[in-house]
Structure 1
């Protein structure tokens, strides 16, 4: 292996090959080989520059006089020239010499004396160092990085990956030396991790060679954010700090605040463009297309992966596959709701409410209030929980909650319970607070809620005006996570005297995957006009109009909606087959998956989470097990992208390749009725397989397509899946 670090550099319209000779002994044969390599390029460089540091004069003379080097120069002939450039002891001046003269000799000897030109040369070398290896590491599928700073991000910069060759380390140290300039009183070089200690020691050696004093700086690692508070602030001008990498440059800022040093006393080797102060870093990366951090992380459905130890390593366990089953994933919530409402238009999907909010799942509260099972529960709660001191009712301002409030008032009248304060909506009760008795109880009602913002607002407003008992009775809470319901219960029921009550008939926690899927679908619709005929009716609806039976993409058979057949594993018997169940099936699958993700009591083998660093996926066999198109499509919509990422292993990716080929080839039959949903999942990258398998699926399927509208849309989605421009013309 050649110990020379070489890189190309363009300046003034010319191209040069720079050969860096590290300090110390370097065999002349290495320099000769580097020159020969340059001579073998198709396009000769306009010049070859042998870059070295002051103090190697005798070494350079020996190299230049060596027979091997002279032979290499003869090979160059008159095609290019060789020049030496020596960085002076002050790290600013450059002494240049002509070894083999060419017309560019005057240009070289003049230009390299300019400070900006020297900095540009080092910038070219640094560019090669940081782009030659994979430095920006993505988190494993299903995870995000919990960085030492406490922040979260989808990617991590591992700068020490570039330090595997000594000549690279020496060049990086020289770049730092030129940057920091002459420092006669430097006593300590701080680093954030021992992973970059080789650079610090190389820098110290360069300082020793270039300075006349006998001060040898100490090398001290403060172990990133954890150790920053434990170091003593150095005296001004006595320390220099090298930070390996930071995506936000937060560690550099904390160092400046802690030590009160100048900004040129600290440097970060690598960061991302856009970070505050990124112009001061040695190198800046473009942020990856799928970059996410901080507030965007929760929407990814990923788990935190801590970076531990001095070298920020992560452990990872083998893939965990989960097959859904009635025995291991039962959920009475969805079973009961399905049985109560499967013959009614109870649930809808993606409904825009008049207040401007979108509900991924919208429950029709009036049907809930009329339900006999719910009414029995309500009567029991009123008999056993309503305080004797009750004076009135506050209800959420919607028609279903108003009906619920009237039922409660009429039922209480049977027991001679009067409501002297009356019955008021959440929009009007504040007008009547002057007549409210602060000691007597209140009944607060809502038929259907989401996160419960209205109820939280009522609780907040009453805090200063009412100290009596408050009983909250809610019919159904539809939310993304069960923790939202626990949070609401905790906030509304916890009081100093323990007199508040919170009772909920049912909670439907469906996860946030469906919401993400609809957003990605809408983004595709907005950016690709060719898909307008397929998506237009889905994303141009009026207020209070949901997708209904069209919540999933249609089949190729008569453009019909996907329908449910007999024997759905998670429902009891008794329902009628048909497409009227789309919203309920979506909610059922979403609730089962969310329960599997969050239930701490579930057997580790069957839960969709792992307490260790392990990628958890839906076993691809689920798509064979649940072979109704409506259930397959619901799995695609309600699973998180990490749970559908089969690109990590050849086995799972290969299985999905063959399965997708069967689905697309059978698109005109019941077996392939969810073909558009699978194609969409590939196009918006919810479903992932390895690139080679994806190419096979797309190319073989394209050969089967006809000129039908369905096949045109399928082709567009498949082309988007492999990042090709949309096309609606199948290749026959």
Structure 2
């Protein structure tokens, strides 16, 4: 479905009450043919994409479109009630009001209708601030601001050398986003609204569509002229007729300064769409990057970097080969050994198992038994100190997630709170599923406990629910026993979300420890292999030198082998289970015997190490790409960690891009040589993970240069073609 709206989440303080309000803003493109179906489809899609239920929903459009949409809202009673029911929980309406906002080129933004709040808006929202949040959402969503890779800087056409490169043309990637951006431009520069505006000068054709959209919105017939950035800047002089100047991007404000100081242009008629800052500028600035993320201010250079020369909005330099990263002790997570000692033997469930008592399928590859977390003596010892030192004494209600471990921790916390206060009254303990306004009656403070948290989705949900039942000044403390987030950034964002509120104090947040283990996307190795065996077309994959019956029987054997271990790892070519030997550096002293380590624990360890490599602050050894440099795992890793189970874990836990050697002849050759030796020695311990490597090649998760891949495939088939086998079957599936 082609979306006709741009939606984003914003927040701001109510101008009447001062309450911090979360608003779901849905800007609908008036240029599209709009129906009632479109309105409710876009609202539903926006609500489903929101991380939490908002306090308010804003529908924003041009005047004629807003009136039409409002008519649909009022006339389509059943659809409206269906949508409003999505905004309720246990009969409580979490969304307090629905506002329809007109965006007019002359008068700006105004609320024309509020549903469910009487004649006056329930929330008087700072509409301009909410629109600015929409611009921030575009910057975060689209590849606008790029940072030069480690050891490099950008040399701009202005001769400015900077770590920052801004691509304004990427700011809007859809028609609704373009329409939204055009209206923002028109509202930010008074010159756009001049009735006799005759000329608009732009420095790049990449922003032509944005400026044209702004002129259409204001009804202007002004002509757009491009002066191609710095090539023709010195030739520009202010025209006699009313004009405006739009600069696509700037990191220092140099172009606007030149136009004002040397060329004589009026600084009140100059607009820079994206700048690194608003300070000391000779133009209006639509988007200041340092207001979105402080890190844009901290990009320093030391003068020794290699320069990447820019021409317009393109590179003049050759593409960089990928940077290879070898895993080492610098990539060991600080709390990995604690996790392994406490839960590595009995706490980690089988891969792709369900941690839910109801038996629902797991949504994470790595699952930990919450009961083992809740019963951990070390965790309870930490909990005692945390309650004594950091938990507010005003707390008289404890809410726990619906699992055995969280319940055990909550009951233990209640006892500790009672002892700490020397009180005869125990705090009320209740399950989150039983949470409502009656259960929280008389609450003077709330402690929310979850034994095991991923990215904190449930904690966010509870936080949102508490906004409905408690005053914002009521103390609350969020406590997670163990966190297994996707990344350090997601955990930091969770903390920020939970502690922030409208008061001048933060809510409490504690966790025994967090161990980022990477994201489970739709492209996991298990899903890729399932698709490989489900969609393979045998006739297209056979090799001319291989008898057809041998190939077909081998592929059947490979399929049967996969079906015997759909949630685990392939066995060795001989049918044995993959094994570990002593000496894996990342285990440390967590295990007395390597036989205690399950496949799931080994995978969790490797996944945590890889994620720590991605989160590493040292850019030279960080396993994270940027816009101009890809990153791969050095083939040396498979020689350094040569246990077949560890090799399998690396192959499955790595992102496909981290195993893509197709753009580096050097690394592709090294990987080719390793694979040729591995397949040649598949019957020995050295080649125990041969099926895993063959599956990675066949599924496309492991990529080589086309010539190297063909050589590996042909030589492996020549060695294996005498006898049908699962390994030969997987080799046949390599395209």
TM-score category, normalised to shorter length = 0.5 to 0.7
- Contact persistence 1:451–1:484 (CA under 8 A): yes
User: Compared with structure 1, are the counterparts of its residues 458 and 319 closer, same or farther at alpha carbon in structure 2 (3 Å cutoff)?
Assistant: closer
- Cα distance in 1, alignment partners of residues 530 and 505 from structure 2: 47
- Contact persistence 2:370–2:451 (CA under 8 A): yes
Structure 2 equivalent of residue 168 of structure 1: none
Match of residue 710, structure 2, among 695, 717, 727: 695
- Contact persistence 1:586–1:638 (CA under 8 A): yes
- Cα distance in 1, alignment partners of residues 219 and 457 from structure 2: 53
Structure 1 equivalent of residue 406 of structure 2: 401
User: Compared with structure 1, are the counterparts of its residues 233 and 423 closer, same or farther at alpha carbon in structure 2 (3 Å cutoff)?
Assistant: closer
- Cα distance in 2, alignment partners of residues 536 and 621 from structure 1: 31
- What is the deviation of 1:151? 5.8
- Contact persistence 1:148–1:225 (CA under 8 A): no
Match of residue 562, structure 2, among 504, 527, 535: 535
Match of residue 444, structure 1, among 444, 448, 461: 448
- Cα distance in 2, alignment partners of residues 682 and 703 from structure 1: 17
- Contact persistence 1:633–1:677 (CA under 8 A): yes
- Cα distance in 2, alignment partners of residues 513 and 632 from structure 1: 19
Structure 2 equivalent of residue 149 of structure 1: 170
TM-score for both structures, normalised by structure 2: 0.54
Q: Does 1:429 align with 2:435?
A: yes
- Contact persistence 1:513–1:638 (CA under 8 A): no
- Contact persistence 2:374–2:404 (CA under 8 A): no
- Cα distance in 2, alignment partners of residues 234 and 374 from structure 1: 62
Match of residue 345, structure 2, among 338, 343, 352: 343
Residues 656-665 or 589-598, more deviating: 589-598
- Cα distance in 1, alignment partners of residues 636 and 605 from structure 2: 19
- Contact persistence 1:322–1:608 (CA under 8 A): yes
- What is the deviation of 1:451? 2.3
- What is the deviation of 1:409? 2.3
- What is the deviation of 1:232? 8.9
- Contact persistence 2:395–2:427 (CA under 8 A): no
Structure 2 equivalent of residue 364 of structure 1: 369
- Cα distance in 2, alignment partners of residues 699 and 647 from structure 1: 18
Q: Does 1:522 align with 2:530?
A: yes
Q: Does 1:460 align with 2:464?
A: yes
User: Compared with structure 1, are the counterparts of its residues 345 and 444 closer, same or farther at alpha carbon in structure 2 (3 Å cutoff)?
Assistant: closer
User: Compared with structure 1, are the counterparts of its residues 648 and 222 closer, same or farther at alpha carbon in structure 2 (3 Å cutoff)?
Assistant: closer
Match of residue 577, structure 1, among 583, 586, 594: 594
User: Compared with structure 1, are the counterparts of its residues 681 and 513 closer, same or farther at alpha carbon in structure 2 (3 Å cutoff)?
Assistant: farther
Residues 704-715 of structure 1 mapped to structure 2, 5 A cutoff = 704-705=719-720, 712-715=725-728
Give CA-to-partner distance per residue, 1:336-378, whole Å, 9 cap, x none: 2122233324243223454555222111111122222222211
Q: Does 1:590 align with 2:607?
A: yes
Give CA-to-partner distance per residue, 1:3-27, whole Å, 9 cap, x none: xxxxxxxxxxxxxxxxxxxxxxxxx
- Cα distance in 2, alignment partners of residues 485 and 311 from structure 1: 35
Match of residue 390, structure 2, among 385, 389, 405: 385
Residues 78-97 of structure 1 mapped to structure 2, 5 A cutoff = none
- Cα distance in 2, alignment partners of residues 230 and 606 from structure 1: 45
Structure 1 equivalent of residue 623 of structure 2: 608
- What is the deviation of 1:334? 1.5
User: Compared with structure 1, are the counterparts of its residues 222 and 611 closer, same or farther at alpha carbon in structure 2 (3 Å cutoff)?
Assistant: closer
User: Compared with structure 1, are the counterparts of its residues 409 and 660 closer, same or farther at alpha carbon in structure 2 (3 Å cutoff)?
Assistant: same
- Contact persistence 1:450–1:477 (CA under 8 A): yes
- Cα distance in 1, alignment partners of residues 701 and 379 from structure 2: 37
Give CA-to-partner distance per residue, 1:195-250, whole Å, 9 cap, x none: xxxxxxxxxxxxxxxxxxxxxxxxxx5754565468799999999999xxxxxxxx
- Cα distance in 1, alignment partners of residues 172 and 206 from structure 2: 19
Structure 1 residues not aligned, in runs of 5+: 1-141, 154-187, 195-220, 243-305, 540-546, 723-732
User: Compared with structure 1, are the counterparts of its residues 339 and 490 closer, same or farther at alpha carbon in structure 2 (3 Å cutoff)?
Assistant: same
- Contact persistence 1:412–1:418 (CA under 8 A): no
The alignment partner of 2:632 has SS state of: strand
Q: Does 1:494 align with 2:500?
A: yes
- Contact persistence 1:146–1:307 (CA under 8 A): no
User: Compared with structure 1, are the counterparts of its residues 696 and 417 closer, same or farther at alpha carbon in structure 2 (3 Å cutoff)?
Assistant: farther
Q: Does 1:617 align with 2:632?
A: yes
- Cα distance in 1, alignment partners of residues 480 and 719 from structure 2: 53
User: Compared with structure 1, are the counterparts of its residues 234 and 471 closer, same or farther at alpha carbon in structure 2 (3 Å cutoff)?
Assistant: closer
- What is the deviation of 1:417? 4.0
Q: Does 1:655 align with 2:670?
A: yes
Match of residue 567, structure 1, among 576, 583, 588: 583
Q: Aligned pair count?
A: 444
- Cα distance in 1, alignment partners of residues 595 and 172 from structure 2: 47
- What is the deviation of 1:518? 2.0
The alignment partner of 1:617 has SS state of: strand
Give CA-to-partner distance per residue, 1:288-341, whole Å, 9 cap, x none: xxxxxxxxxxxxxxxxxx997546447533431111111x22322222212223
User: Compared with structure 1, are the counterparts of its residues 152 and 592 closer, same or farther at alpha carbon in structure 2 (3 Å cutoff)?
Assistant: farther
Structure 1 equivalent of residue 689 of structure 2: 674
Structure 1 equivalent of residue 335 of structure 2: 333
Structure 2 equivalent of residue 258 of structure 1: none
- Contact persistence 2:400–2:410 (CA under 8 A): yes
Structure 1 equivalent of residue 477 of structure 2: 471
Give CA-to-partner distance per residue, 1:606-625, whole Å, 9 cap, x none: 11135671121111111111
- Cα distance in 2, alignment partners of residues 665 and 329 from structure 1: 32
- Cα distance in 2, alignment partners of residues 414 and 610 from structure 1: 51
User: Compared with structure 1, are the counterparts of its residues 695 and 502 closer, same or farther at alpha carbon in structure 2 (3 Å cutoff)?
Assistant: same
Q: CA RMSD in A?
A: 4.0
Q: Which one has the largest radius of gyration?
A: 1
Give CA-to-partner distance per residue, 1:445-491, whole Å, 9 cap, x none: 11112222222222112113223111111111222222221121111
Q: Does 1:508 align with 2:510?
A: no
The alignment partner of 1:721 has SS state of: coil
